[in-house]
Amino acid sequence: MDQFKKLLIIGSVWPEPNSSAAGTRMLQLISLFKEEGFVVTFASPAMDSDFMVDLELEEVIKKTITLNCSSFDVFVKELNPSVVLFDRFMMEEQFGWRVSENSPEALRLLDTEDLHCLRVARQRAFKEKRAFVEADLLVEEVAKREIASILRCDLSLMISEYEMQLLTETFKIDSLLLFYLPFLLEEISNADIDKLPSFEERKNFVFIGNFLHEPNWNAVQYLKETIWPLIKKQLPKAVLNVYGAYPSQKVLQLNNVKEGFIVKGRAANASEVVQEARVVLAPLRFGAGIKGKLLEAMQCGTPSGTTSIGAESMYGDLDWNGFITDDPEVFAKEAVALYQDEKLWLEGQKNGVEIINHRYLRGFFEDDFMKKIKWLQANLQEHRLNNFMGSLLQHHALKSTKYMSMWIEAKNKI
């Protein structure tokens, strides 16, 4: 086997494409590498789940690994991967130093998904009832960990242009350490749209989102307490179907048939659910990254209403496929208009297709990405010499994560 064509992915969980956009994103990355001829191994310390993708069907080798255990050292040394992809910075913290010591020539990639510290800082500002400012990030404890992880890696994959800007301007990260790689989608044709249900064939509003993700739970509370009563006042017969994986009891308790607020839980087929709805509602008040649920709405030809944070970095200078507002009264008014006005609805649908076809096509990114990977593999030593802060953070005196892990491993043997 060509050692230059072995990819090891280390994930905190097994991919669940029907539960979250992160699972879909991971399968897109796997597909990119497989098409380039890589043999892919996906390793995780997580328990298997009923909803995980069958990696064998994806022709991916599955490997269960253990946290804080030197058995990983043996595994990675034997595998000898050419590229290691950490899924989120927490996995780099746990396993990065082991990869560095046992497979030093492997190219180390970090898939950030979104900037965790941005989501946390915005959530904190929201709870403290104040506006988020970028300086909040500099005092956020998790930012120090996340930025250290980005610096230790050879390249970090970013899905949001705004987050790339934050990293280069606020944190002064060298742009050579970052690569913009958003969700990778297929082109939508007029024929594709013609196959979708029409305005008349659709009914109801829908919200969809994984409930393990705090911004989604907050958005559903906001809908229930503030926005939905305003919509219901104008559309007494309106129904909002709330879907999402892993709903807790507090989510299920929001169900109220009389109010037309129906909590459905996990969707067997998310695309089907979104295609049947007339309008997607996503009033996100904090968060980061780009929102898979809103891209899915565009793919399904379903206009959406969201906030400035919901639409952040998603549409460039194009028109949104519905409306964007942070005012709950305006949100409700616009939602009702979008639901009732077919002309407005069709315009929103058209805008969504434009956004996908101009900003998210796989063909826009895959060649440049693979060229970057090949260049880094060919120039890895020079690249690392130019990343002095990264090599500084690999220095033994600063490797607290390594020694904490070794201490836990030793303690577990007692």
Domains of the chain and any CATH numbers: 3-184+362-413 (3.40.50.2000), 190-359 (3.40.50.2000)
pLDDT digits (tens, 9 = 90+) for 158-205: 999 999 999 999 999 999 999 999 999 999 999 999 999 999 999 999
What pLDDT shows up at residue 123?
97
Predicted model pTM: 0.93
What pLDDT shows up at residue 2?
57
Residue for token digits 């990977």? 373
For 199, the 3-state DSSP assignment is coil
Instruction: Compute the average pLDDT of residues 228-232.
Output: 98
Residue 231's nearest CA partner among 304, 328, 336 is 336
- Least confident range of 48-52, 71-75, 327-331, 348-352: 48-52
Confidence of residue 407 (pLDDT cuts 50, 70, 90): confident
What pLDDT shows up at residue 1?
46
For 300, the 3-state DSSP assignment is coil
Inter-residue contact 291 to 284 (CB < 8 Å) = yes
Residue ranges of E strands in 23-162 = 39-44, 61-64, 83-87, 107-111, 155-158
% of the chain at pLDDT higher than 70: 97
